[in-house]
Protein backbone atom coordinates (compact mmCIF):
# COMPACT_ATOMS: atom_id res chain seq x y z
CA UNK A 1 0.00 0.00 0.00
CA UNK A 2 1.41 3.38 -1.01
CA UNK A 3 -0.92 6.38 -0.71
CA UNK A 4 -0.27 10.03 -1.44
CA UNK A 5 0.18 12.24 1.61
CA UNK A 6 2.72 13.60 4.10
CA UNK A 7 4.29 10.19 4.74
CA UNK A 8 4.71 9.56 1.02
CA UNK A 9 6.20 13.01 0.46
CA UNK A 10 8.84 12.49 3.15
CA UNK A 11 9.87 9.07 1.89
CA UNK A 12 10.00 10.05 -1.78
CA UNK A 13 11.93 13.26 -1.16
CA UNK A 14 14.50 11.24 0.81
CA UNK A 15 14.76 8.65 -1.97
CA UNK A 16 15.15 11.34 -4.64
CA UNK A 17 17.87 13.04 -2.59
CA UNK A 18 19.80 9.78 -2.13
CA UNK A 19 19.52 8.91 -5.82
CA UNK A 20 20.95 12.31 -6.74
CA UNK A 21 23.85 11.59 -4.37
CA UNK A 22 24.63 8.43 -6.35
CA UNK A 23 22.79 5.83 -4.24
CA UNK A 24 20.96 3.27 -6.39
CA UNK A 25 17.26 3.39 -5.57
CA UNK A 26 14.84 0.68 -6.67
CA UNK A 27 11.17 0.67 -5.67
CA UNK A 28 8.80 -2.20 -6.36
CA UNK A 29 5.13 -1.26 -5.97
CA UNK A 30 2.18 -3.59 -5.96
CA UNK A 31 0.02 -2.84 -9.00
CA UNK A 32 -3.14 -2.72 -6.89
CA UNK A 33 -1.97 -1.54 -3.46
CA UNK A 34 -0.10 1.44 -4.96
CA UNK A 35 -2.87 2.64 -7.26
CA UNK A 36 -3.09 5.87 -5.17
CA UNK A 37 0.66 6.52 -5.22
CA UNK A 38 1.73 10.02 -6.38
CA UNK A 39 2.87 9.57 -9.97
CA UNK A 40 4.55 12.99 -10.16
CA UNK A 41 7.07 12.29 -7.38
CA UNK A 42 7.78 8.79 -8.66
CA UNK A 43 8.44 10.29 -12.09
CA UNK A 44 10.84 12.75 -10.46
CA UNK A 45 12.63 9.81 -8.82
CA UNK A 46 12.94 8.11 -12.20
CA UNK A 47 14.24 11.29 -13.84
CA UNK A 48 16.93 11.38 -11.14
CA UNK A 49 17.97 7.87 -12.17
CA UNK A 50 15.92 5.74 -9.79
CA UNK A 51 14.03 2.67 -10.97
CA UNK A 52 10.34 2.08 -10.23
CA UNK A 53 8.45 -1.06 -11.20
CA UNK A 54 4.93 -2.30 -10.52
CA UNK A 55 3.97 -5.86 -9.67
CA UNK A 56 1.16 -7.28 -11.81
CA UNK A 57 -0.58 -4.22 -13.12
CA UNK A 58 -3.93 -5.05 -14.79
CA UNK A 59 -3.33 -5.81 -18.46
CA UNK A 60 -4.20 -8.48 -20.96
CA UNK A 61 -2.16 -11.60 -20.40
CA UNK A 62 -2.01 -11.20 -16.60
CA UNK A 63 -5.68 -10.90 -15.64
CA UNK A 64 -5.92 -14.53 -14.50
CA UNK A 65 -3.15 -13.82 -11.96
CA UNK A 66 -4.20 -10.30 -10.99
CA UNK A 67 -5.83 -11.48 -7.75
CA UNK A 68 -2.43 -12.73 -6.57
CA UNK A 69 -0.80 -9.68 -5.00
CA UNK A 70 2.58 -8.74 -3.56
CA UNK A 71 1.86 -8.10 0.12
CA UNK A 72 5.51 -8.06 1.22
CA UNK A 73 6.97 -5.15 3.16
CA UNK A 74 10.73 -4.90 2.74
CA UNK A 75 13.21 -2.04 2.95
CA UNK A 76 16.91 -2.90 2.54
CA UNK A 77 19.84 -0.48 2.60
CA UNK A 78 23.33 -1.42 1.39
CA UNK A 79 22.50 -5.09 1.92
CA UNK A 80 23.23 -4.71 5.64
CA UNK A 81 20.16 -3.11 7.24
CA UNK A 82 16.56 -4.06 6.57
CA UNK A 83 13.07 -3.40 7.86
CA UNK A 84 9.96 -5.54 7.64
CA UNK A 85 6.64 -5.77 9.42
CA UNK A 86 3.14 -4.43 8.95
CA UNK A 87 3.73 -0.83 7.89
CA UNK A 88 3.42 0.63 4.43
CA UNK A 89 3.37 4.22 3.13
CA UNK A 90 0.16 5.89 4.27
CA UNK A 91 -0.46 8.74 6.70
CA UNK A 92 -2.26 6.40 9.11
CA UNK A 93 1.19 5.05 10.03
CA UNK A 94 2.60 8.44 11.06
CA UNK A 95 1.48 8.11 14.69
CA UNK A 96 1.25 5.40 17.31
CA UNK A 97 -2.42 4.98 18.25
CA UNK A 98 -2.69 8.39 19.89
CA UNK A 99 -6.10 8.72 18.23
CA UNK A 100 -8.39 6.51 16.09
CA UNK A 101 -6.89 7.89 12.86
CA UNK A 102 -3.42 6.56 13.72
CA UNK A 103 -2.93 2.82 13.40
CA UNK A 104 -1.05 0.66 15.91
CA UNK A 105 1.67 -1.31 14.15
CA UNK A 106 5.24 -2.58 14.36
CA UNK A 107 8.26 -2.70 12.08
CA UNK A 108 11.39 -4.70 12.78
CA UNK A 109 14.97 -3.70 12.03
CA UNK A 110 17.15 -6.62 10.90
CA UNK A 111 20.86 -6.76 10.16
CA UNK A 112 23.44 -9.31 9.08
CA UNK A 113 22.11 -12.56 7.60
CA UNK A 114 18.48 -11.52 8.20
CA UNK A 115 18.98 -8.36 6.11
CA UNK A 116 20.73 -10.27 3.32
CA UNK A 117 17.89 -12.79 3.26
CA UNK A 118 15.34 -9.97 3.10
CA UNK A 119 17.22 -8.47 0.16
CA UNK A 120 17.26 -11.84 -1.60
CA UNK A 121 13.46 -11.86 -1.39
CA UNK A 122 13.37 -8.41 -3.01
CA UNK A 123 15.79 -9.49 -5.75
CA UNK A 124 13.48 -12.38 -6.67
CA UNK A 125 10.38 -10.17 -6.99
CA UNK A 126 12.34 -7.43 -8.72
CA UNK A 127 13.63 -9.79 -11.38
CA UNK A 128 10.14 -11.04 -12.25
CA UNK A 129 8.76 -7.49 -12.48
CA UNK A 130 11.64 -5.59 -14.10
CA UNK A 131 13.69 -8.23 -15.91
CA UNK A 132 16.80 -6.97 -14.10
CA UNK A 133 18.84 -9.58 -12.24
CA UNK A 134 20.77 -8.05 -9.34
CA UNK A 135 24.17 -9.69 -8.79
CA UNK A 136 27.65 -8.82 -7.61
CA UNK A 137 29.34 -7.33 -4.53
CA UNK A 138 27.73 -3.93 -5.07
CA UNK A 139 24.37 -5.56 -4.34
CA UNK A 140 25.37 -8.21 -1.82
CA UNK A 141 27.58 -6.80 0.90
CA UNK A 142 30.33 -8.97 2.36
CA UNK A 143 29.19 -11.06 5.31
CA UNK A 144 29.93 -9.73 8.75
CA UNK A 145 30.03 -11.32 12.18
CA UNK A 146 26.68 -12.42 13.57
CA UNK A 147 27.86 -11.93 17.17
CA UNK A 148 25.11 -10.34 19.22
CA UNK A 149 22.40 -11.36 16.80
CA UNK A 150 19.50 -13.76 17.15
CA UNK A 151 20.15 -17.43 17.94
CA UNK A 152 18.49 -18.95 14.88
CA UNK A 153 15.97 -17.92 12.25
CA UNK A 154 13.99 -19.15 9.26
CA UNK A 155 12.97 -16.73 6.52
CA UNK A 156 9.92 -17.75 4.51
CA UNK A 157 9.63 -15.78 1.27
CA UNK A 158 6.23 -17.04 0.30
CA UNK A 159 4.78 -17.18 -3.21
CA UNK A 160 1.94 -19.67 -2.81
CA UNK A 161 0.55 -21.97 -5.46
CA UNK A 162 -2.75 -23.82 -5.25
CA UNK A 163 -1.08 -26.89 -3.74
CA UNK A 164 1.44 -25.07 -1.54
CA UNK A 165 0.28 -23.35 1.64
CA UNK A 166 3.65 -23.13 3.40
CA UNK A 167 2.59 -19.98 5.28
CA UNK A 168 -0.16 -21.96 7.00
CA UNK A 169 2.40 -24.50 8.25
CA UNK A 170 4.78 -21.72 9.27
CA UNK A 171 2.25 -20.75 11.97
CA UNK A 172 0.69 -24.14 12.62
CA UNK A 173 3.80 -26.15 13.49
CA UNK A 174 5.12 -23.81 16.23
CA UNK A 175 1.64 -23.63 17.79
CA UNK A 176 1.45 -27.44 17.88
CA UNK A 177 4.86 -27.46 19.60
CA UNK A 178 3.84 -24.92 22.27
CA UNK A 179 4.10 -26.01 25.91
CA UNK A 180 3.29 -22.85 27.87
CA UNK A 181 2.08 -19.81 25.89
CA UNK A 182 0.79 -18.77 22.48
CA UNK A 183 0.31 -15.02 22.00
CA UNK A 184 -0.88 -13.81 18.58
CA UNK A 185 -1.66 -10.33 17.29
CA UNK A 186 -3.20 -10.11 13.83
CA UNK A 187 -5.41 -7.54 12.07
CA UNK A 188 -7.27 -10.02 9.85
CA UNK A 189 -8.21 -13.31 11.52
CA UNK A 190 -9.75 -15.72 9.04
CA UNK A 191 -8.36 -19.05 10.32
CA UNK A 192 -8.47 -22.32 8.46
CA UNK A 193 -9.71 -25.39 10.34
CA UNK A 194 -6.25 -26.81 11.22
CA UNK A 195 -5.17 -23.52 12.81
CA UNK A 196 -8.38 -23.20 14.78
CA UNK A 197 -8.18 -26.81 15.93
CA UNK A 198 -4.57 -26.32 17.05
CA UNK A 199 -5.46 -23.24 19.10
CA UNK A 200 -8.33 -25.06 20.78
CA UNK A 201 -6.27 -28.19 21.40
CA UNK A 202 -3.50 -26.22 23.07
CA UNK A 203 -5.89 -24.18 25.21
CA UNK A 204 -7.66 -27.35 26.40
CA UNK A 205 -4.26 -28.81 27.25
CA UNK A 206 -3.44 -25.94 29.62
CA UNK A 207 -1.42 -23.70 27.29
CA UNK A 208 -2.09 -19.97 27.75
CA UNK A 209 -3.51 -19.10 24.32
CA UNK A 210 -4.40 -15.47 23.63
CA UNK A 211 -5.53 -13.64 20.50
CA UNK A 212 -5.37 -9.85 20.13
CA UNK A 213 -7.60 -8.66 17.29
CA UNK A 214 -9.03 -5.32 16.12
CA UNK A 215 -12.04 -3.77 17.77
CA UNK A 216 -14.48 -1.38 16.12
CA UNK A 217 -11.64 0.62 14.54
CA UNK A 218 -10.76 -1.44 11.48
CA UNK A 219 -10.42 -0.66 7.79
CA UNK A 220 -12.75 -3.52 6.79
CA UNK A 221 -15.67 -4.23 9.14
CA UNK A 222 -16.60 -7.36 7.22
CA UNK A 223 -13.30 -8.97 8.23
CA UNK A 224 -13.99 -8.26 11.89
CA UNK A 225 -17.50 -9.70 11.68
CA UNK A 226 -16.11 -12.77 9.96
CA UNK A 227 -13.46 -13.23 12.65
CA UNK A 228 -16.11 -12.95 15.35
CA UNK A 229 -17.90 -16.08 14.08
CA UNK A 230 -14.96 -18.07 15.52
CA UNK A 231 -14.99 -16.46 18.97
CA UNK A 232 -17.49 -18.70 20.74
CA UNK A 233 -15.86 -22.05 20.05
CA UNK A 234 -12.38 -20.65 20.73
CA UNK A 235 -13.41 -19.14 24.07
CA UNK A 236 -15.26 -22.34 25.03
CA UNK A 237 -11.98 -24.21 24.53
CA UNK A 238 -10.13 -21.78 26.81
CA UNK A 239 -8.65 -19.34 24.27
CA UNK A 240 -8.64 -15.76 25.51
CA UNK A 241 -9.80 -13.29 22.84
CA UNK A 242 -9.23 -9.54 23.08
CA UNK A 243 -10.32 -6.66 20.85
CA UNK A 244 -8.03 -3.64 20.76
CA UNK A 245 -9.91 -0.43 21.57
CA UNK A 246 -7.94 2.79 20.85
CA UNK A 247 -7.56 2.40 17.08
CA UNK A 248 -6.96 -0.19 14.35
CA UNK A 249 -4.22 -2.60 15.41
CA UNK A 250 -2.37 -3.71 12.29
CA UNK A 251 0.53 -5.55 14.01
CA UNK A 252 1.35 -9.06 12.79
CA UNK A 253 3.23 -10.94 15.51
CA UNK A 254 3.14 -14.35 17.18
CA UNK A 255 5.20 -15.45 20.20
CA UNK A 256 5.41 -19.11 21.25
CA UNK A 257 6.64 -19.98 24.77
CA UNK A 258 8.42 -16.62 24.94
CA UNK A 259 11.16 -17.94 22.68
CA UNK A 260 9.94 -18.46 19.09
CA UNK A 261 8.64 -15.33 17.35
CA UNK A 262 6.98 -14.90 13.97
CA UNK A 263 7.20 -11.43 12.44
CA UNK A 264 6.69 -9.98 8.97
CA UNK A 265 3.89 -9.16 6.56
CA UNK A 266 1.43 -12.13 6.69
CA UNK A 267 -2.06 -12.03 8.09
CA UNK A 268 -3.89 -15.07 9.40
CA UNK A 269 -6.32 -15.08 6.50
CA UNK A 270 -7.03 -16.79 3.19
CA UNK A 271 -5.01 -14.34 1.09
CA UNK A 272 -1.77 -14.74 3.04
CA UNK A 273 -2.12 -18.52 3.05
CA UNK A 274 -3.11 -19.04 -0.58
CA UNK A 275 -2.72 -15.95 -2.76
CA UNK A 276 -0.32 -13.23 -1.68
CA UNK A 277 3.46 -13.00 -1.80
CA UNK A 278 4.68 -12.54 1.78
CA UNK A 279 7.79 -12.10 3.93
CA UNK A 280 7.92 -13.84 7.32
CA UNK A 281 10.66 -14.60 9.81
CA UNK A 282 10.54 -17.32 12.41
CA UNK A 283 13.14 -16.37 15.03
CA UNK A 284 14.40 -18.40 17.99
CA UNK A 285 15.62 -15.84 20.48
CA UNK A 286 14.59 -15.46 24.12
CA UNK A 287 15.38 -11.73 24.30
CA UNK A 288 13.25 -10.90 21.28
CA UNK A 289 10.49 -13.20 22.55
CA UNK A 290 10.48 -11.48 25.94
CA UNK A 291 10.32 -8.04 24.33
CA UNK A 292 7.41 -9.05 22.09
CA UNK A 293 5.58 -10.65 25.02
CA UNK A 294 5.84 -7.40 26.99
CA UNK A 295 4.56 -5.48 23.97
CA UNK A 296 1.67 -7.91 23.59
CA UNK A 297 0.68 -7.60 27.26
CA UNK A 298 0.91 -3.80 27.10
CA UNK A 299 -1.45 -3.83 24.11
CA UNK A 300 -3.81 -6.22 25.90
CA UNK A 301 -4.18 -3.63 28.66
CA UNK A 302 -5.78 -1.37 26.04
CA UNK A 303 -8.07 -4.11 24.80
CA UNK A 304 -11.39 -5.58 25.88
CA UNK A 305 -11.55 -9.30 26.66
CA UNK A 306 -14.55 -11.01 25.11
CA UNK A 307 -16.74 -12.62 27.77
CA UNK A 308 -18.40 -15.89 26.74
CA UNK A 309 -21.64 -15.16 28.60
CA UNK A 310 -21.94 -11.70 27.10
CA UNK A 311 -20.98 -12.96 23.66
CA UNK A 312 -23.73 -15.57 23.64
CA UNK A 313 -26.28 -12.81 24.21
CA UNK A 314 -25.44 -10.87 21.04
CA UNK A 315 -28.37 -10.00 18.82
CA UNK A 316 -29.74 -12.25 16.05
CA UNK A 317 -29.08 -9.46 13.54
CA UNK A 318 -25.40 -9.30 14.50
CA UNK A 319 -25.16 -13.08 14.19
CA UNK A 320 -26.60 -12.88 10.68
CA UNK A 321 -24.16 -10.13 9.63
CA UNK A 322 -21.25 -12.13 11.03
CA UNK A 323 -22.30 -15.29 9.21
CA UNK A 324 -22.70 -13.48 5.88
CA UNK A 325 -19.32 -11.77 6.35
CA UNK A 326 -17.66 -15.11 6.96
CA UNK A 327 -19.10 -16.60 3.77
CA UNK A 328 -17.80 -13.62 1.76
CA UNK A 329 -14.35 -13.48 3.37
CA UNK A 330 -13.67 -17.17 2.91
CA UNK A 331 -14.01 -16.59 -0.84
CA UNK A 332 -11.31 -13.89 -0.97
Could you give the angle at which helices 39-47 and 6-20 cross, rounded to 10 degrees? 10
SS3 content of the chain, % helix, strand, coil (to 5): 40, 25, 40
Contact at 8 Å (CB) between 202 and 175? yes
DSSP assignment letter at 70: B
Query: How far apart, in whole angstroms, are the C-alpha atoms of residue 111 and residue 194?
Result: 34
Decide which of 109 and 55 is more confident. Answer: 109
Read off the pLDDT band of 146 (50, 70, 90).
Answer: low
Q: What is the pLDDT of residue 124?
A: 85
Q: What is the pLDDT of residue 147?
A: 58
pLDDT tens-digit series, residues 179-234: 999 999 999 999 999 999 999 999 999 999 999 999 999 999 999 999 999 999 99
CA distances for 24 relative to 27, 42, 110, angstroms: 10, 14, 20
pLDDT tens-digit series, residues 86-121: 999 999 999 888 889 999 999 999 999 999 999 988
Q: What is the pLDDT of residue 159?
A: 72
Decide which of 167 and 230 is more confident. Answer: 230
pLDDT at 18 over 90: yes
Instruction: Identify the three-state secondary structure at position 243.
Output: strand
Read off the pLDDT band of 329 (50, 70, 90).
Answer: confident
Select from 97, 86, 281 the least CA-distant residue to 188.
86
pLDDT at 148 over 80: no
Q: What is the pLDDT of residue 153?
A: 93
Segment among 32-46, 48-62, 69-83, 286-300 with least mean pLDDT: 48-62
Q: Give the pLDDT mean for 145-172.
A: 77
Q: Domains of the chain by range and CATH?
A: 6-130 (3.30.870.10), 152-329 (3.30.870.10)
Q: What is the pLDDT of residue 276?
A: 82
Segment among 57-66, 175-184, 254-263, 285-294 with least mean pLDDT: 57-66
User: What is the rounded average pLDDT for all residues in the chain?
Assistant: 90
pLDDT at 316 over 70: yes
pLDDT at 138 over 90: no
Query: How far apart, in whole angstroms, are the C-alpha atoms of residue 271 and residue 32?
Result: 14
Contact at 8 Å (CB) between 160 and 166? yes
Amino acid sequence: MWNDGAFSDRVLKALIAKQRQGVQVRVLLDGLGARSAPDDLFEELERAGGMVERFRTPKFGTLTRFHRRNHRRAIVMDGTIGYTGGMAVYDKWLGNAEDPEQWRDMMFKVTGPLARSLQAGFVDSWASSSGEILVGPAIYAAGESTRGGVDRFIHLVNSPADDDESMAYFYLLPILAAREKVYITTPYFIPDQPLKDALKQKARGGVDVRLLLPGQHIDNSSVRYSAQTHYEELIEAGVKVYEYQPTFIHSKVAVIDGAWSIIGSPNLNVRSRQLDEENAYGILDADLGATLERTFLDDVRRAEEISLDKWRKRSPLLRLVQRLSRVLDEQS
